[in-house]
Amino acid sequence: MKIVCLGAGNVATHMANAFKENGAEITQVWSRDLATAQALALQIGAEAISDLNDVETFADLYLIAVKDDAIAEVANGLKKINGIVVHTSGATGMDVLQDHKDYGVFYPLQTFSKSQPIDFIHVPLCLEANTEENMTSLQMIAMKLTPLIYEVESKKREILHVAGVFACNFVNHLYTLSHEILKENALDFEMLRPLIMETATKVQEALPEQVQTGPAIRDDIKTISKHEELLSKTPHLQDIYRNLSNSIKKTHS
Amino acid sequence: MKIVCLGAGNVATHMANAFKENGAEITQVWSRDLATAQALALQIGAEAISDLNDVETFADLYLIAVKDDAIAEVANGLKKINGIVVHTSGATGMDVLQDHKDYGVFYPLQTFSKSQPIDFIHVPLCLEANTEENMTSLQMIAMKLTPLIYEVESKKREILHVAGVFACNFVNHLYTLSHEILKENALDFEMLRPLIMETATKVQEALPEQVQTGPAIRDDIKTISKHEELLSKTPHLQDIYRNLSNSIKKTHS
């Protein structure tokens, strides 16, 4: 299987490496910036290019893993190619690729860090395709990476993306705020790490609404008041404390 | 080592079992409700009691693991005992125990589920004691359970507790809200579990502010507007989306 990787950022790097490890050949890496393309191309033994006119015409998959705003431009720059063109975006409809004959979406519902490798068996892939035949092809390709394969249309993929903002981006921000609280009091973030890990582990089996704990769900007004007082010098933290405590009460009432 | 366990709820059950597994003897379990005391006592081979006057006088540790509001009453009901009296609360000062000669705090900074066992090597224990000698004793006892031992005074323990509300209770609530978003669109929470796990795993090494991702930190106004529109039928979710997105922008500006 031959894949052309369009993009050389975080997602592109993780996906290209995962494909390579699982026996696919990444023939080319394109990036607007040749040095960026080269950095990834070197890792995976591909050719680095920075001109879309140099993209080869007979790969099986053209993987567009660039910023959302750049997808249309890259897709429209691909001429006379014969494989399936996919993008990897959660927030972008499939129709941005509709000028191609065969196209679809290959959206990894996961967070990628530059520094941290990730095992793709823990990466759900949400697929969409313009024909049933292309869906079957994408499923075959996805199976090389992960058993977690879902068929998800554009509208539902957007929903997944916004749910992911709550479950990942906002969650990480709460970790950041907890670190802010600790720092101001010369306490080490290290102390919270086991709690963070266990909180995520609990919902791997249970549903989160079944395992909610804390003062808000107990309606423990005394503790809530004490916490609000402790946060009185940091009104932005106090606000979020109030909002989320009220939201917990409403959800569970 | 002999321990009397005062309380038979979630925290008491996890701690009593952990002590037992690590070679301590739980001689008695007290609960206001005898049947509740018996349920735990049976698990760990202890005597069940429901009258504080029946508490034996020569244990090494009297572990008060009851609701915050009940700690004072239980502590005051303990008469003529000779060991160290501790409570396990994050939000309660040590001085609630000051009528005893030897006392302290044994606060596990972790979330416990009724159904899920937890390995105590992942439970940080925050200790406080009224004398240096008692601190040494509590450290010796804590070492039986975990290498994660911290000496934390009452004021800092309160700070840890409120930070824990952000990093655990509020985080779990965000998981709940993400499930709510999925449910309304007939998508399975299962799809988000790997993302949740990876988000927690990332901050086991890194600091959360170093690994923040998502539309808010990129100031990706287009995606944020789209998400707000998707949430327009659920104003409580839209509110939280706005608040947390703004908080991310402020924190990282």
- Could you read off the pLDDT of B168-198 as tens digits, one per residue? 999 999 999 999 999 999 999 999 999 999 9
- The number of folded domains in chain A is 2
pLDDT digits (tens, 9 = 90+) for A26-47: 999 999 999 999 999 999 999 9
Contact (CB, 8 A) for B29 and B49:
yes
pLDDT band at A117 (very low <50, low <70, confident <90, very high): confident
Q: Is A88 helix (H, G, I), strand (E, B) or coil?
A: coil
If asked whether residues B184 and B60 sit together in one domain, one would say: no
- CB pairs under 8 A, 24+ apart, for B34-41? B36/B8, B36/B9, B37/B8, B39/B8, B40/B5, B40/B8, B40/B12, B40/B13, B40/B16, B41/B8
Domain CATH code at residue B207: 1.10.1040.20
The answer on B144 and B30 residing in a single domain is yes
Residues B52-62 have pLDDT tens digits of 999 999 999 99
| Last-in-domain residue among A126, A152, A178 | A152
Secondary structure class of A104 (helix, strand, coil):
strand
Provide the CATH number for the domain around residue A137: 3.40.50.720
Can you tell me the distance from the alpha carbon of B88 to that of A247, in angstroms, rounded to the nearest whole number? 27
| Confidence label for A197 from pLDDT (cuts 50, 70 and 90) | very high
Alpha-carbon distance of A239 to B28, in angstroms, equals 44
Residue B116: its pLDDT value, please?
Answer: 80
| pLDDT tens digit sequence for A166-189 | 999 999 999 999 999 999 999 999
Average pLDDT in chain B: 96
Helix axes B171-184, A193-202, angle to 10 degrees: 30
**Are B180 and B222 within one domain?**
yes
The answer on pLDDT for A115 being more than 80 is no
DSSP A85: E
Same domain, A142 and A161: no
Q: How confident is the model at residue B114 (pLDDT cuts 50, 70, 90)?
A: confident
**Do residues B231 and B147 both lie within one domain?**
no
* Residue whose pair of structure tokens reads 């985080």 in the numeric block: B171
The Cα–Cα gap between B46 and B4 comes to 9
B128 and B24: one domain? Answer: yes
- The residue assigned the tokens 């490496």 is A17
pLDDT confidence tier of residue B135, bands split at 50, 70 and 90: very high
Same domain, residue pair A70 and A126 = yes
* A240/B243 CB distance under 8 A: yes
Query: Which A positions 6-65 lie with beta carbon below 8 A of chain B?
Result: none
ipTM for this prediction: 0.95
Full residue range of the structural domain in which residue B219 is found: 158-251
Same domain, residue pair A177 and A73: no
Contact B192, A121 (CB under 8 A): no
For chain B, what percent of residues have pLDDT higher than 70? 100
- B141 lies in the same domain as B175: no
pTM of the shown model? 0.94
Residues A147 and A192 in one domain: no
CB contacts of A160 in chain B (<8 Å) are 182, 187, 191-192
**Boundary-marking domain end, from B117, B152, B187:** B152
| pLDDT value at A114 more than 80 | no
* Per-residue confidence (pLDDT) for residue B197, from 0 to 100: 98
User: What backbone phi and psi angles, to 5 degrees, belong to B84?
Assistant: -90, 130
Helix (H/G/I), strand (E/B), else coil: B2: strand
Under an 8 A CB cutoff, do B195 and A110 touch? yes
Q: Tell me which DSSP letter residue B131 carries.
A: S
Answer with the one of B129, B152, B175 that is the final residue of a domain. Answer: B152
The whole-number pLDDT of residue A116 equals 80
Q: Over pLDDT 70: what percentage of chain A? A: 100
Alpha helix ranges (H) inside B22-102: 34-44, 71-77
Beta pairing partners, A150? A126
Same domain for B168 and B147: no
Out of A116, A160, A181, the one facing B163 most closely (by C-beta) is A181
| 209-248 in chain A: CB under 8 A from chain B | 209, 211-217, 220, 222-223, 226-227, 230-231, 236, 239-241, 243-244, 247-248
- For residue A4, give both structure tokens: 């052309």
Say yes or no: B72 and B141 in one domain. yes
- CA–CA distances in Å: residue B137 to residues A141, A153, B1, B107: 60, 61, 11, 15
CA distance B142 to chain A (A): 15
